[in-house]
Amino acid sequence: MAAIPARHINKYIEIVRTSVPGLSSMSQESCDAIYAVLTKQFANVTSTLVNNLTDLEALVDRQPDLVFLGVKFILQSTTLGMDDLNRIWISDYLDAHNIAYTGSNQSAHEFERNKPKAKQRILDSSISTAAFYVIKQNQILAEEDIALIYPLFIKPTDQGGGMGIDSNSVIYNFDQLRARARVITAQFKSDSIVEEYLPGREFSVAILKNSYLKEYSVMPIELVAPIDKNGARLLSNRVKSSNTEKVLEVTDGTVRANVITMALECFHALGARDYGRIDIRFDADETPHFLEANLIPSLINGYGSFPKACLLNIGLGYDLMIKTIAELGLERNMNDANNSDNPLAISGIAVADPV
């Protein structure tokens, strides 16, 4: 007897990323993996590069049912580059044309992209984060400008994936700080954010909405980076790229509860929705502090904190994780989203520690 073909949901999905350096939140490897999963369930799936406004207009003209978002914004001026303040936020553009997309909207993405802005939002929400100061590009820095307690930690204000972080990121005096800020300006054309260094354990918390239960799964893991030449454990770009950090289950009840509570508070304070990742680090007294958010986290199978946290905490495999993210986006444009007979309803996902 011939096998019965798998039923495909009649939806058109475009996976959108960019080839413009510094703008993509989705690698080609991740795009290919997401495509392989979605083609098993949906009738029409394709991937698209959006590098400019013409590409974005063409995307809207094709009227996909869902954009699986892998880029936050595009630039209108190739001359200005990242200094172009007239950037076009993809989520805002899609909202204006009534096209559904995965994950958070423009305001949340703006917080994520601007680390000082995100930290200030967290402080304004009465959530702990390390004291910080922003060094502008090419600023003539004076020692009295820094009203922080050494050691300090410095990184670019607008980079992810551990970019700009290495064994020289922990700063012990003003001369080191000034020199490192110059390096960040030269390499990344970025301002620098300087924070009081948190020497404790580091956690990455995946957050994923369960539309069937109308709750969030909040899934922490502890990340242990190798010790660098100065004795620090830092999740640098080299460590993240090589996937060499240890991933540990968070089993201590108090630690787990504190990390989960803070992560969800931060997620809501930043206006995030559907899915994302919140990074947290302890100070010397094991008080948790917000580090940063990633609202389009890496979704490569077996790589990155988000898929690892889903699998370790609730046994959520890669395929179902990707389908869940897509379905959450589609659900926003569906009138019968609460109908239990809806073929897009998500089932079989246990909620981990609902808060």
Name the pLDDT band for 341 (thresholds 50, 70, 90): very low
> Which amino acid is located at 136 in the chain?
K
Q: What is the mean pLDDT of the chain?
A: 87
Residues 145 and 191 in one domain: yes
* The pLDDT value given to residue 84: 58
Residues 188 and 244 in one domain: no
Residues 289 and 230 in one domain: yes
Q: Give the least confident one: 20-24, 167-171, 174-178, 239-243.
A: 239-243
Query: How many angstroms separate the CA atoms of 281 and 260, rounded?
Result: 12
Question: Does residue 353 lie in a domain region?
Answer: no
Question: Does residue 122 lie in a domain region?
Answer: no
Token pair 């207009």: residue: 57
| Max avg pLDDT among 108-117, 158-167, 204-213 | 108-117
Dig out the tokens for 203 from the structure.
């956690």
- Predicted confidence (pLDDT) at residue 24 exceeds the cutoff of 50: yes
* The pLDDT value given to residue 350: 37
pLDDT tens digits along 40-66 = 999 999 999 999 999 999 999 999 999
**H-helix or E-strand spanning residue 213:** none
Question: Does residue 69 lie in a domain region?
Answer: yes
- Predicted confidence (pLDDT) at residue 333 exceeds the cutoff of 90: no
* The pLDDT value given to residue 162: 73
Query: Which residue did the predictor score with more confidence, 53 or 229?
Result: 53
* The pLDDT value given to residue 210: 86
Question: Does residue 16 lie in a domain region?
Answer: yes
pLDDT tens digits along 253-289 = 999 999 999 999 999 999 999 999 999 999 999 999 9
- Quote the domain boundaries for residue 70: 9-101
> Which residues make beta-bridge pairs with 218?
207
* The pLDDT value given to residue 214: 75
Residues 213 and 316 in one domain: yes
Question: Does residue 347 lie in a domain region?
Answer: no
Question: Does residue 349 lie in a domain region?
Answer: no
Residues 300 and 237 in one domain: yes
Q: Which of 196, 214, 242 is the last residue of a domain?
A: 196
Residue 311's CATH number: 3.30.470.20
Residue 137's CATH number: 3.30.1490.20
Dig out the tokens for 244 from the structure.
């060499």
Question: Does residue 346 lie in a domain region?
Answer: no
Residues 46 and 163 in one domain: no
Residues 31 and 138 in one domain: no
- Predicted confidence (pLDDT) at residue 344 exceeds the cutoff of 90: no
Query: How many angstroms separate the CA atoms of 341 and 348, rounded?
Result: 15
SS3 49: strand
- Predicted confidence (pLDDT) at residue 165 exceeds the cutoff of 90: no
Residues 301 and 268 in one domain: yes
> Which residues make beta-bridge pairs with 42?
9
Query: How many angstroms separate the CA atoms of 88 and 92, rounded?
Result: 8
Q: What is the per-residue DSSP string for 56-93? A: HHHHHHH--SEEEE-BSEE-S-TTTGGG-TT-EEHHHH
* The pLDDT value given to residue 93: 96
Name the pLDDT band for 82 (thresholds 50, 70, 90): low
Kindly report the number of other CB atoms within 10 A of residue 215's CB atom: 14
Q: Evaluate whether 91 touches 74 at the Cβ level (below 8 Å).
A: no
Residues 73 and 17 in one domain: yes
Residues 65 and 85 in one domain: yes
Domain count, the chain: 3
Question: Does residue 62 lie in a domain region?
Answer: yes
